[in-house]
């Protein structure tokens, strides 16, 4: 907000200089200033929107990397891992709560556990199933 104000002041000084030199009249000067301010604010809005979405994606990826079940899915079923990660990112971009994000991927996680993990002999996998049940 402060930066936008400073930019408006600087462009206001430039437009006033043009007006005093006779290159533009008062109406043209105000029009130029308003267009410049609108373009500046529009650019800042879109840049902030992209950076916020990037932070959401990075946050989701770092949270997923810490979960043992997602590590297992990433190792053995990379396509399912990518699909689950993208689903979580879509839910996060909608600014829904963590519980709603969990609810969105829970059916997929249950299907994965039933399909792949119930026949496992690895004690680590069996412990994960017990914890999730």
| Domains: count for the chain | 2
- Among residues 64, 127, 130, 126, the alpha carbon closest in space to that of 92 is found at 64
Does 56 fall in a domain?
no
Please indicate, yes or no, if residue 82 is contained in any of the structural domains.
Answer: yes
| pLDDT above 80 (res 13) | yes
Quote the pLDDT of residue 118. Answer: 67
Dist CA 69 CA 119 (whole Å): 16
Does any domain span residue 57? Answer: no
Q: Do residues 128 and 112 make contact, with C-beta atoms less than 8 angstroms apart?
A: no
Are residues 129 and 86 located together in one domain of the fold? yes
DSSP string, 37-97: HHHHHHHHHHHHHHHHHHHHHHHHHHHHHH-HHHHHHHHH-HHHHHHHHHHHHHHHHTT--
Do both 27 and 86 map to the same domain?
A: no
59 part of a folded domain:
no
Residue 62, in any domain of the structure: no
Contact 120, 111 (CB under 8 A): no
Nearest residue to 75 (alpha-carbon basis) of 116, 126, 123, 14 = 116
- Per mean pLDDT, which range of 4-18, 50-64, 98-112 is the poorest? 50-64
96 lies in some domain: yes
39 and 89 share one domain = no
Q: Is the pLDDT of residue 1 over 70?
A: no
Query: 20-35: per-residue pLDDT in tens?
Result: 888 888 888 788 878 8
Q: Are residues 45 and 71 in the same domain?
A: no
Q: Residues 92, 120: one domain?
A: yes
Residue 13: give the domain boundaries. 1-49
Predicted local distance difference test score (pLDDT) of residue 133:
67
Q: Are residues 71 and 128 in the same domain?
A: yes
Is residue 41 situated within a structural domain?
Answer: yes
Domain shared by 71 and 35, yes or no: no
């Amino acid at each position: 907000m402060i930066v936008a104000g400073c930019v408006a002041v600087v462009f206001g000084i430039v437009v006033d200089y043009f007006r005093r030199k006779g290159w533009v009249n008062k109406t043209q000067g105000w029009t130029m200033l308003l267009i410049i301010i609108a373009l500046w604010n529009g650019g800042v809005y879109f840049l902030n929107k992209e950076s916020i979405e990037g932070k959401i994606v990075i946050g989701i990826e770092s949270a997923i990397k810490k979960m043992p079940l997602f590590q297992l899915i990433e190792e053995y079923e990379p396509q399912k891992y990518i699909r689950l990660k993208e689903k979580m990112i879509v839910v996060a971009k909608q600014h829904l709560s963590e519980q709603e994000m969990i609810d969105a991927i829970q059916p997929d996680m249950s299907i994965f556990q039933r399909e792949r993990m119930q026949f496992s002999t690895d004690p680590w996998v069996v412990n994960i199933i017990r914890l999730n049940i």
